[in-house]
Amino acid sequence: MTNLLTTQLLAQQAAHTTMANPPAELVPTSLADAYAIQNEIVAAIGPAGAWKVTPMPADGEPNCSPILARNVHPDGATLRSATLPGLSIEVEVAVTIGQALPGKAGGYAPDDVKAAVASLHVVLEVLGSRFHERTAAPRLAGMADLMNNGAVITGPAVAATDWPEFGQQALSLSFDGVEQQTTAAGETTENILAALTWLANHAAGRGLPLKAGDVVITGARLGPIPFARGTVVAEAPGLGKVSATFV
């Protein structure tokens, strides 16, 4: 039976609207419950065309969510702000999977996952919560809400033949030609690969294995910064630049 919170989140997705924080009895009580709601959303309006995964923590596991295929866009995309209530912009590093990872006895190792990656990218993630106030919603409700993903815009593909040290990756973010944020550091390549390896095993175990063509975004390096209308550009030396226009 579909979770009642799933039904409510799907209604907001369809109407491009937001709702008040759910009553306590509808908030997932565990990460497993939140992931189950994610799966129900993908089953209803999927398929998934991407994933988001947080960096590998010193202890424990990352968090993750599938991203709907319909919300993955190419560089230069034009999106309607009205369909993304409360939108904010993040800049991230991403990979595209070149070989499916359906699951492996004993689990995938980092070398397996690295060999399956076809390309590297700079990407924009658009946060677009189904709740009135994204930051005020209960954490596990936000997790159930596909970790507040509204869209992903993928920059040009850079062949994954020689991975750079992402811990020293410079990035900049501009709105309508005005620079908003920059950084010269972030999570390391080793950390990203560890998180990707965890995700490959986790996703296969959930029945939503990583497929060839799936994009995986690896955590915000700039943002989130609220935005309304205009053109957003992110640049990353060695990875190129990515842009999107919101109307």
pLDDT one digit per residue (tens) for the chain, 247 residues:
689 999 999 999 999 999 999 999 999 999 999 999 999 999 999 999 999 999 999 999 999 999 999 999 999 999 999 999 989 999 999 999 999 999 999 999 999 999 999 999 999 999 999 999 999 999 999 999 999 999 999 999 999 999 999 999 999 999 999 999 999 999 999 999 999 999 999 999 999 999 999 999 999 999 999 999 999 999 999 999 999 999 9
Q: Which residue has the tokens 């915000």?
A: 220
Peptide bond into 28 cis (omega under 30): no
Count of structural domains, the chain: 1
Domain with 22, as residue range(s), is: 4-246
Sign of CA dihedral 87, 73, 155, 56: positive
Its pTM surpasses 0.95: yes
Task: Say how far apart CA 194 and CA 111 lie, in whole Å.
Answer: 10
Q: What are phi and psi of 174, to 5 degrees?
A: -125, 145
Question: Which CATH number goes with the domain that contains 191?
Answer: 3.90.850.10
